[in-house]
Amino acid sequence: MNSTDVIDCLPEERQRSILALLTEQGRVVASELARKFNTSEDTIRRDLRELAAAGLCKRVYGGALPVSPASGSLTEREAQNPERKQALAACLVKLIKPGQVVFIDAGSTNLLVAQALPDDLNITVVTNAPSIAAVLAERENINLILIGGSINRNTGAALGAQSLRDAANIRPDLYILGVCALDVEMGLTAFDLEDAEFKRLVASQAKSVVTAITNDKFETTAPFRIAGTDILTALVAEADADEQLLKSLCGPDVQIHRAV
């Protein structure tokens, strides 16, 4: 079935075609789908609700977005695009200056950032991720602070009331923010409510905020909003990330750095 044709079809066929369009276009709009499939917007909204309930898309106002690929556990995410993430990490560490207090939160790319920190960089690293703390524990040039709390196994982070209390007393020079998805309307999003709350708190207190994002997270979304891209000082993108897309997502005030 050609997803560009105006068609009458069964609900299952229509939903498969909607998913195909979502993959092709990066987003779908309910009013446009209603015209394309010669049906009502209520019918399309029901289709999108059912697809979202099955975890196949994310409902947003007026339509739907793809679900971010970063929905799995930390172990699963570590196995996704490791070479691309290593390139992002190598680019990001160049933004860190000696003497800074750097908050590195949980995430598969951020773990690689910790591994890529130069031996001669004298900094203080704060983290709520035990895996990142383990990488840095024996590094003599790094003063390490581990935020406590209950460990969320999916995010690999300490979250909850204790972690929020601890983080509230820290004003980092640089916050390396791990995000699950980035969309122009939804902004920066995460798959866990407490994780999004924690990230929002640290970002609000940091002097500068930077994130590194693989191409497959652009124009996707996750259930819980962290903030808009206006909180970012800089974004590290892959070498082949679309220039116009980056401008539309980030605006003129966010510095774009490209991994080699």
Residue pair 201/168 in contact by the 8 Å Cβ criterion: yes
Task: Report which DSSP code applies to 145.
Answer: E
Rounded to whole angstroms, how far apart are CA atoms 39 and 254? 41
Query: What pLDDT sits at residue 183?
Result: 86
Q: Hey, is 168 helix, strand or coil?
A: coil
Contacts of 34 (CB under 8 A, 6+ apart): 40, 41, 43, 44
Q: Which residue(s) pair with 144 in the sheet?
A: 125
Burial 50-86 (b: 16+ CB within 10 A, else e): ebbeeebbbbbeebbbbbbbbbeebeebbeebeebbb
Rounded to whole angstroms, how far apart are CA atoms 116 and 89? 7
H or E stretch covering 90: helix 82-92
Q: Mean pLDDT per 10-residue run, the chain (260 residues)?
A: 51 85 80 89 88 77 75 56 89 96 95 93 96 94 94 91 95 96 88 94 98 90 90 96 90 92
Query: What pLDDT sits at residue 3?
Result: 42
Rounded to whole angstroms, how far apart are CA atoms 87 and 217? 16
Query: What pLDDT sits at residue 161?
Result: 95
Measure CA of the first residue to CA of the last residue in the chain; give whole Å. Answer: 40
Q: Which token pair is 89?
A: 């990490």
Q: Which residue(s) pair with 124 in the sheet?
A: 101, 143
Q: Tell which residue, 123, 257, 84, 69, has the closest CA to residue 114.
A: 123
Residue with tokens 């075609």: 17
